Structure 1
Amino acid sequence: MSSAYNHARPPAGAASLPAPDDPVAARLQESARRMAGIAVFSGVVNVLMLSGSLYMLQVYDRVIPSRNVATLIGLSLMVLCAYLLQGYFDALRSRMLCRVATLFDAGLQEHIHTALATLPLRGAKPMLMQQPLRDLDQIRAFMSGMGPTAFLDMPWIPIFLIALFLFHPLIGFTALAGTVAIIAMTLLSERLSRGAAKTAMDLSAQRQVLADTTQRNAEVIRALGMLDRFTARWSRANERYLRENIRASDVSANLGSGAKVLRYVLQSGMLGLGAWLVVADKASGGVMIASSIMMGRALAPVEVALGTWKQLVAARQGIKRLREICKATAPPAAPPVELPRPSRELSVQNLSVVAPGMERPIVSNVSFALSAGMGLALLGASASGKTSLSKALVGIWQAASGVVRLDGGALDQWRNADLGRYIGYLPQDVALFDGTVAENICRFDETATSDAILKAARVAGVHDMILRLPDGYATRIGAGGMSLSAGQRQRVGLARAVFGDPFLVVLDEPNANLDTEGEQALTRAIQALRAAGSIVIVISHRPSALAALDMALVLYEGKAIAFGRRDEVFARVSNASRQIAERQAAAAPAVARRAAAFEGAAS
């Protein structure tokens, strides 16, 4: 397995080559070329399958009439060797299929992971977010199973039919009619099972989404007494899946059993036909037995195909979905020139932002510019578009219109890995990962130095707190940072945001879970970043996080209504709020008089 994976990894420098338009089709073509080599072994296996029929033919037509034991022993040794060779080549073929499937999987890992990381940013439904991985598992399972062997064996069916024609034309025509009947049943299986298999697969994905949601929110479900309700939802989803799965299995089982019965009928019919030919002195007893065995061998690949048809349908549907998803989530072509680290300004020009999967803009025509060393307070009421704007500034969400520029270059002119080094981001949900504190701070960069990690921790004011952890920087924090408190997670997230001296740092509610010590450390971190020439943008409803900033931008219903020096903007907002309050107070007596008059008229 490891060797197969290593062979599938691209050589050094291959990452710079443009990815094919359809990576799934490219990997399938590679697998098809490898299958061509396996087909040679299938030919050897099928030729060796004739040995049993030939052995029976010789025993009945030569050994029994002559009563020659030496001939029987010689024939038995020969057929034993043939069976051993057949078993060896059959096992070798299965092992090769497993490796072809592994190479197919390994060759798509980069594209699959890109799809998994991109689908949530495109507004994909939850049931689709894990679908690429499930599809890849289904395709690999089919490619490494019995299914491909049936299709590799089918081209050799004519060999058995020709041999049966050589025994007697009537035997050959009977075998041909039976083969046509089995193939017709295979095509009927394809038509009837397609819809049921697709529905069962979709319901399975929905059930998996519900299971993931329950696991992710287990604490809330338990604390708020929602366990019984979610159990009922799970039961309904599981019942729908099981019902459709039974329907798909019934179709497959009925057709598979029908094909098996037809095969038994043909084998017995072939035996009866051979007996009639023997009685009529048109064939020997050996032909009667050999033709029955050979008929079973000829139809075996079709029966195997019917037995694995459900997996084949699932694999075909998975390939179709996988091709569409990989095309839709393919990363843009890498810029031909690597731009230098930005160091002068951030410019936002007529920026409009739409949430993935939505149509109505959340942020509309926002424009502002910041120079190196400036700090911006991004203000506004809830649902005014602050977080949406911050996601567009760091490149998480694509701009519906307008552009975000760093030193004059639009964000898409940088490679994603390069842009990530120049940006620091702390979301509301800190989103730490299973690993050590040091790994989370350095963004899991294996080339990061201890000095860079310590510098980020000290800038964020979290160094002493980390030293108090059980294993210091080597402390494993668990999935989502579960071993840390909310405040500790936020401070480690701040250290991650400032790692590598980023030019643009965006902090969304960075002090939501901080105590007084943490807020003081946050203020010092913002001051240190600005002094180093970074641009810092902070979203917060608590004034303590805004003290170290000099600019302010106020959003109202997705539009910028004020931008400028912090104190000036605060004064304008305060005056506007006071004027609104005065107008409301002045209008209150008149409203009261109208209400009293209305009540009097009503009485």
Structure 2
Amino acid sequence: MSDKDPIRAALDECRPLFMAAFWFGLFINALMLAVPIYSMQVLDRVLSSGSLDTLLMLTIIVGVSLLFMGLLQGLRALVFSHIGRWLNDKLSSDIVHKTLNLALYKPSIGSQPLRDLATIRGFVTSPALGSLFDAPWAIIYFIVIFMINLWLGLTVVLGAVLMLALALVTEKLPAKHSSLANDEQIKSMQAMDAVIRNAEVVKAMGLLEQASRRWRVHNRQWLEHAFSATNLQTVVSHATRTLRMGLQVLLTGQGAWLVISGGMSSGGIIAVSILSGKALAPFDAAVTIYQTWINTQKAYKRLQELNPASTEANRTMVLPEPRGEIAIEKLTFQDKQSSRWIVRGVNIRIEAGEAVGIIGPSGTGKTTLARLLVGVAQPTSGSVRLDGAALDQWDPDQLGRLIGYLPQGVELFSGTVAENIARLEAEADPQMIVAAAQMAEVHDYILQLPNGYQTDIGLNGALLSAGQKQRVALARCFFGGVRLVVLDEPNAHLDAEGELAFVKCIMNAKERGITTITIAHRPSVLQKVDKILVLQGGEAKMFGPAVEVLDKMTRPEQNVRPIRKHQDTELEANSVN
């Protein structure tokens, strides 16, 4: 599938099916002529001749024609349904991956891309697409009407022109309001999602009015634009309906005049009435089809914007299992929105199996550095290397299995404790799950839960406390053959007992040769780390053995020489002056 436009590539693969559906339209519309022709023949021939045999044969022929028409319509509907399902299967996985990548930089994206895919799938399977495929064949009905009578044909054409003009008015007048209404509806839903995500804070701090204000603003604007668009569409819709009824009366009256004057048979009145309805149907449905098409087009454009979000290299490959050596080379990161440099030229090396702590004031770039270390953020310049290979050179699936990451905002998945520790693997080895829990010193705690490892933690872990969530998430970090674990404020919700267990966890990781990097504000959890990195203003001010760094920090009267941005240090004790 094309990386440039996977949706267009997928639609191109469906081209043979679309072409088949288009030609089905020819036969469907041709068979639809059976009804007006039948009506005309019954009135003009059967009634005048009184022949029951002719009536029987005509009825059989029309019945068979309608049967085939129904089969073709059903088959075309199945084709559209198959295309819609195939598009969903083809694109959904890619869209989910790209949405996750984009969510790292734009969390407000939510599940909108999947709703956009549902919009496209809905259009493909909707009657609107069938009407579009039938529209070109409406010429058949116009030709037959002209064959019945020239003046009736001209009247139907005039009616079609007037209805098309009304459709164009509907396109121009409410289009702006409809577009703005759609945009405001999306913003309104995103604002409400934010309120719901922060329901506890909103309730506890009495922020309901303030938090819902933004939602009300977008919701009000959505309703105003939708109200304006709906009013215009309603006026045009009623005008179109009135035009259709007036045209029907005109055709009937004109047909009667022609019959009286001998210019047409009486059966032609019924035939023209049926044929005009079929001929004008695409013009009558143009308003509805247009609005559906506009919404589908906007969804398509939004999905196209996802394509640049994929940052994973196409030429990655599975590399030999690493030991866990980390090289941070002249690493910098600039926030694109504020243009602020958050990480500035960090240049350090961490040996395999070492335990490193990162400390520094709030807002100094520690969390950003953690995100760079695990590859969820891309550096502006410089690189992070795992056993000599930059993170973007690793196969993403392999890299994910090698890394454990505990962010500040702990999120668990709906399911059991075991499923969360096993990273949602369907057939995870129970022994590996227990081993990860023991590594994180949470095995005994889990056994105290109502159903042990099979305890259901509810939607997103709602049945667990913040501390319990953090400990389960810590065990998840050590599941499988991880070689690098990055922990951002892992003791934020832990009590004294939990902190002691965490310190033991760091010791367990060192014994297993797992490289651990811990960001913390409280030095108590860093008592067993080998080295400490001090960040200030996004720069590495000190890095070296933990005892020496902490000693320097407790004696601020001594000058400390910062690590130079381009210094290729081996990060031994002499890195701290």
- How far residue 73 of structure 1 moved from its aligned partner, in angstroms, is 4.1
Picking from 410, 414, 418, the partner of 1:438 is: 418
**Map of 2:69 onto structure 1:** 86
Partners in 2 of 1:336 and 1:527 — Cα distance? 33
Post-superposition CA distance 1:525-575 (Å, at most 9, x none):
111212222221111122221111111111111111111111111222222
Post-superposition CA distance 1:494-539 (Å, at most 9, x none):
1111112322111111112222332222112111212222221111
Post-superposition CA distance 1:324-363 (Å, at most 9, x none):
22x1223534335321122152111111123464421111
Matched, 1:154 2:129: no
Partners in 1 of 2:216 and 2:378 — Cα distance? 39
Q: Which moved more, 1:40-49 or 1:360-369?
A: 40-49
- How far residue 43 of structure 1 moved from its aligned partner, in angstroms, is 2.4
**Map of 2:226 onto structure 1:** 245
Give runs of aligned pairs for residues 173-572 of structure 1, distance below 5 A. Answer: 173-231=154-212, 233-325=214-306, 327-343=307-323, 345-355=325-335, 357-572=337-552
Counterpart of 2:18, as a letter, is: M
Give the conservation status (yes or no) of the 8 Å contact 2:316–2:393: no
Distance 1:486 1:566, change over 3 A: same
- How far residue 577 of structure 1 moved from its aligned partner, in angstroms, is 5.6
Distance 1:19 1:444, change over 3 A: farther
- How far residue 111 of structure 1 moved from its aligned partner, in angstroms, is 1.8
Partners in 2 of 1:496 and 1:279 — Cα distance? 88
Counterpart of 1:402, as a letter, is: G
Give runs of aligned pairs for residues 97-112 of structure 1, distance below 5 A. Answer: 97-112=80-95
- How far residue 401 of structure 1 moved from its aligned partner, in angstroms, is 0.9
Q: Which moved more, 1:399-408 or 1:258-267?
A: 258-267
Q: Which moved more, 1:129-138 or 1:87-96?
A: 87-96
Greater share of helix: 1
Give the conservation status (yes or no) of the 8 Å contact 1:190–1:313: no
**Map of 2:10 onto structure 1:** 27
Give the conservation status (yes or no) of the 8 Å contact 1:111–1:330: no
Partners in 2 of 1:357 and 1:415 — Cα distance? 29
Give the conservation status (yes or no) of the 8 Å contact 1:114–1:329: no
Partners in 1 of 2:101 and 2:49 — Cα distance? 76
Post-superposition CA distance 1:239-281 (Å, at most 9, x none):
2212211222223333333333333333332222222322332
* Structure 1, gaps ≥5 residues long: 1-17, 581-603
Give the conservation status (yes or no) of the 8 Å contact 2:2–2:9: no
Partners in 2 of 1:247 and 1:103 — Cα distance? 37
Partners in 2 of 1:472 and 1:485 — Cα distance? 16
Partners in 1 of 2:62 and 2:389 — Cα distance? 75
Partners in 1 of 2:374 and 2:215 — Cα distance? 38
Give the conservation status (yes or no) of the 8 Å contact 1:146–1:308: no
Give the conservation status (yes or no) of the 8 Å contact 1:122–1:356: no
Partners in 1 of 2:557 and 2:57 — Cα distance? 106
Count of residue pairs brought into register by the alignment? 560
- How far residue 149 of structure 1 moved from its aligned partner, in angstroms, is 1.1
* Structure 2, gaps ≥5 residues long: 561-577
Task: Tell me the TM-score normalized by structure 2.
Answer: 0.92
Give the conservation status (yes or no) of the 8 Å contact 1:551–1:564: yes
Q: Which moved more, 1:108-117 or 1:246-255?
A: 246-255
Give the conservation status (yes or no) of the 8 Å contact 1:146–1:304: no
- How far residue 77 of structure 1 moved from its aligned partner, in angstroms, is 4.2
Distance 1:577 1:541, change over 3 A: farther
Picking from 22, 27, 35, the partner of 1:52 is: 35
- Percent of aligned positions with the same letter in both sequences? 38
Matched, 1:95 2:78: yes
Q: Which moved more, 1:145-154 or 1:286-295?
A: 286-295
Partners in 1 of 2:156 and 2:559 — Cα distance? 96
3-state SS, counterpart of residue 378 of structure 1: strand
Partners in 2 of 1:206 and 1:577 — Cα distance? 53
3-state SS, counterpart of residue 366 of structure 1: strand
Structure 1 ranges of 4+ moved more than 6 A: none
3-state SS, counterpart of residue 502 of structure 2: helix
Partners in 1 of 2:49 and 2:197 — Cα distance? 77
- How far residue 138 of structure 1 moved from its aligned partner, in angstroms, is 1.6
Picking from 94, 116, 121, the partner of 1:140 is: 121
Distance 1:140 1:249, change over 3 A: farther
- How far residue 285 of structure 1 moved from its aligned partner, in angstroms, is 1.4
Task: Tell me the TM-score normalized by structure 1.
Answer: 0.88
- How far residue 168 of structure 1 moved from its aligned partner, in angstroms, is 2.2
**Map of 1:43 onto structure 2:** 26
3-state SS, counterpart of residue 436 of structure 2: helix
**Map of 1:116 onto structure 2:** 99
Q: Which moved more, 1:185-194 or 1:110-119?
A: 185-194
3-state SS, counterpart of residue 317 of structure 2: coil
Distance 1:499 1:357, change over 3 A: farther
Post-superposition CA distance 1:195-230 (Å, at most 9, x none):
222111111111111221222122221222223444
Partners in 2 of 1:349 and 1:415 — Cα distance? 21
